[in-house]
Amino acid sequence: MKTRVFSGMQPSGNLHIGNYLGALKNWVRIQSEYECIFCIVDLHAITLYQGPAELRAKIDEIAALYLAAGIDPKVCSIMVQSAVPEHAELAWMLTCVTPVGWLERMTQYKAKAARQESVGDGLLQYPVLMAADILLYQAGIVPVGEDQAQHVELTRDIAQRFNSLYGETFVVPGTSLPAVGARIMGLDDPAQKMSKSETAANHAVALLDPPDKIRKAIMRATTDSNPAVDYETAGPGVLNLLAIYQAFSGAPDAEMKARFTGLRYGELKKQVADMAIAHLEPFQERYRRIVSEPGYLAGVLRGGAERVAPLAAATVRMVKERMGLYV
């Protein structure tokens, strides 16, 4: 049996090149090697308030972006989290074996909670729901960007704790990070990771940004006081631009060094912008084709949910039996 892969993205904000290079591009690369489930995690999105109409529209947008990136719905299951009720059901069982202290230690929780006046319980439970997503399908591999590695670690801890309390039940999953692009930084501030919730102009390149906007954001990216690329002394802004180029192009390290050493920053940025636009223009063309086809997306999402539903039901049944719940 092929190892199962599970990953997902939240339908909130605009997907950017960090999401693409850190996660989505990797999903496309491994999709035929494993049995893949790619989810649109709407139950995670509502841990922070989302306007209902916007949320509903975002779910379709993310699904179309998965497809535009090259995820093949004939090979993978593309599904919406709330279409399969067992995600929420299993999350409850896992909540009951998870110490609050583990959740309070999560860096993402601490950062998000610090920005709220009153912290919703869902924000604290967020990683337990993520653990449920993964364990529900007995996934062995979780391809994500670096910021999610701590949540996958926690998933391993929850799985092991459950297994030791109730007997071997869950596959303990591993994280898969891309070699380059696991943490793309903000163009305006290379000390912060590129983030969907950051609204400053020129912070991110969104996957659906028009070419002139992409070029502008990259040309204005923060660099450092060197005049040209020097791999030994380059600051984080320059390393970030090089990582973006390398992750898009797949160029090996030696080729990167030969190409960019000594190049002035203006020229570096121009080449990074050209590379990003060369990838994103055809991507956007595919996106427009997908959303203009009536009924197509809805069919893909329905098909995905139908395909995974029996797997989810089987796991929850087993968990209920192990725990002595009513089956």
Say whether residue 127 binds ligand AMP (CB under 6 A): no
N-terminal to C-terminal alpha carbon distance within the chain: 28
269 among known catalytic residues: no
DSSP annotation of 221 reads -
Say whether residue 286 binds ligand AMP (CB under 6 A): no
**Among 115, 111, 117, 160, which residue's Cα sits nearest to residue 135?**
160
Q: Which residue from 4, 8, 156, 203 is in contact with ligand TRP, where contact means CB under 6 A?
A: 8
193 among known catalytic residues: yes
Say whether residue 177 binds ligand TRP (CB under 6 A): no
**295, two tokens:** 């009924």
What string marks each residue from 18 to 57 as x (binds ligand TRP by CB under 6 A) or -? -----------------------x--x-------------
Nearer to ligand TRP, 45 or 280 (CB): 45
CB neighbour list of residue 5: distance below 8 Å, 6 or more residues apart = 27, 30, 34, 35, 36, 37, 139, 140, 141, 142, 143, 176
Q: Which residue from 144, 221, 238, 319 is in contact with ligand AMP, where contact means CB under 6 A?
A: 144
Residues near ligand AMP (CB under 6 A), total: 16
d(CA 58, CA 126): 19
Say whether residue 106 binds ligand AMP (CB under 6 A): no
d(CA 156, CA 149): 11
Q: Which residue from 10, 12, 77, 138 is in contact with ligand TRP, where contact means CB under 6 A?
A: 10
**Helix 236-249, helix 253-260: angle, nearest 10:** 120
Q: Which position among 25, 58, 112, 269 bears the catalytic label?
A: 112
Say whether residue 18 binds ligand AMP (CB under 6 A): yes
Task: Answer for the pair 158, 98: CB distance below 8 angstroms, yes or no.
Answer: yes
Say whether residue 106 binds ligand TRP (CB under 6 A): no
Nearer to ligand TRP, 134 or 277 (CB): 134
Enumerate residues 131-150 that contact ligand TRP by CB under 6 A.
Answer: 133-134, 142, 144, 148
Query: In DSSP terms, which residues pair with 228 in a beta bridge?
Result: 264
257 among known catalytic residues: no
**Among 183, 324, 144, which residue's Cα sits nearest to residue 155?**
144
CB neighbour list of residue 13: distance below 8 Å, 6 or more residues apart = 196, 197
Q: Which residue from 4, 5, 6, 19 is in contact with ligand AMP, where contact means CB under 6 A?
A: 19
Residues recorded for the chain: 327
Say whether residue 68 binds ligand TRP (CB under 6 A): no
Of all residues in the shown chain, the one whose CB is closest to ligand AMP is 22
What is the side-by-side order of every strand in the sheet holding 35-40? 77-80, 35-40, 4-9, 141-143, 174-176
Q: Which position among 74, 196, 216, 257 bears the catalytic label?
A: 196
Q: Which residue from 4, 5, 6, 59 is in contact with ligand TRP, where contact means CB under 6 A?
A: 6
Say whether residue 145 binds ligand AMP (CB under 6 A): yes
**Residues tagged active-site:** 112, 193, 196
**For binding to ligand AMP (CB under 6 A), which residues are involved?**
9-10, 18-19, 22-23, 144-145, 147-148, 182-184, 193-194, 196
